[in-house]
Amino acid sequence: MRIDVLAVTLIRSIIPSILRSRNLAQKLRIQLQERKQSYTGNDIISSNITQDSFPKLAFFIPDEHRDREAEKILKTHGAIRGLRILEVGGVVVDIASMNSWNTVYNACVYAPKDISCTCMDFRSRGGFCKHLRAGFHFVKAVRNFPDFSTLPEPIYPRPEACITILPAECSDIDELEQQEIVKDAIQSL
């Protein structure tokens, strides 16, 4: 094969094909990022409206898979990005996503009524996700150091400890009936 034919083939078909492939891959990454942002609702206002309208009460149910994933988070260097103590008494652990290092989830591990995480697993399912589990273990370990000994000990809430807050339109339900609804909800778990 002649060199001039090889050079012409390279310039006319192979290089443009490589560039098209790179451009398509970049466009796909951008589209996936936009789609993810639209699904996760990174908009703070809509997130606050959702949390106010549909408060989630997290509780701990044993789950071997999520426990293993939490262990992976704790063993991964740099996965725990920070620990914040809020003025209202909450403790938040910032945990990097295992899939995208530029995404950081905020796992609030204290106070019991404020336990939450910003990940999709918690938002959709509501139970203890791997980030909350890792955050709980991290706070328990950090409490052994003198500088952090005043941190409150995280308490794993159980399903029977959850408190159901009924919306205002259900205020005509008496307290006994409300307790029955809560018991039925817990038994269905």
Q: For 58, what's the count of Cα atoms within 13 Å in the CB-facing half-sphere? A: 31
User: pLDDT tens digits, residue range 51-70?
Assistant: 555 556 677 788 899 999 99
The residue with greater pLDDT, 101 or 135, is 135
Residue extents of the structural domains in the chain: 1-40, 56-157, 162-189
The residue with greater pLDDT, 43 or 126, is 126
The answer to whether residues 72 and 134 touch, using CB atoms and an 8 Å cutoff, is no
Prediction pTM value: 0.59
How far CA 95 is from CA of 29, 84, 141, in Å, comes to 23, 12, 15
Q: What is the CA radius of gyration of the chain?
A: 24
Question: What are the residues whose beta carbons fall under 8 Å from the beta carbon of 89, sequence distance 6 or more?
Answer: 110, 111, 152
